[in-house]
Amino acid sequence: IPPFLQDVFETESMYRSADPFQSLTINSMRDGEFLHWHFDNNDFATTLPLQSPEEGGDLEVVPALRDVDHGIENYDQVQQVLDEDPAFDHSRIIKVPTRAGSLSLLKGINSMHRVAPVKGSTRRLVAALQYDRKPNTSLSLEHNAKIYGDRLLKEYGGKM
């Protein structure tokens, strides 16, 4: 792992995700596609846009909305974000435009984030690398099937 990532994330231990489906992903999104608000299962992520859409596709982040290390889930504020509640301080949401070649670093396990709808005929292409503080971290096949579809269960016969 490059030492600068450990410095930025202020962690002494950092390992590339051992998950065969999560360690490196290329996300391709077309006109009208988006990702809902979510937290990552991995501790850290780096994203590198490879191609910008014509419009939209911004990464929207609420940094440090929760703190899993200290058991602070902050359910009330998470629900406010999901409900677009005016009581939530929307100035906390950082909008990161998808610009090809611009590296973003995210502590996705604690920072709620989404991708705004893509507009236009040019796809949004983003490479994402996932990292964890513990070595050999991987999601279950069943969990990955929820993300990538049941074909994984058929293809891997319930085993990875």
Task: For residue range 135-149, list pLDDT tens digits in order.
Answer: 999 998 888 888 888
What pLDDT sits at residue 158?
62
Residue 147: the pLDDT is 86
Q: DSSP assignment, residue 117?
A: P
d(CA 53, CA 45): 21
Please check the confidence at residue 157 and state whether its pLDDT lies above 80.
Answer: no
* Whole-model pTM over 0.85: yes
- Whether 155 has a pLDDT exceeding 90, the answer reads no
* Residue 88 reports pLDDT greater than 90: yes
pLDDT of residue 125 exceeding 80: yes
CA–CA distances in Å: residue 112 to residues 41, 59, 66, 67, 150: 11, 11, 8, 11, 26
Q: What pLDDT is stored for residue 160 in this prediction?
A: 55
Q: What is the pLDDT of residue 131?
A: 97
Structure token pair of residue 55: 């419009």
Identify which has the larger pLDDT, 67 or 159: 67
Which runs of E-coded beta strand occur in 1-155? 15-16, 24-29, 35-38, 44-51, 55-56, 59-62, 94-96, 104-106, 112-115, 118-119, 124-132
Whole-angstrom distance, CA of residue 88 vs CA of residue 80: 6
Look over the chain and give the mean of its residue pLDDT values, rounded to a whole number.
94
Average pLDDT over residues 73-94: 97
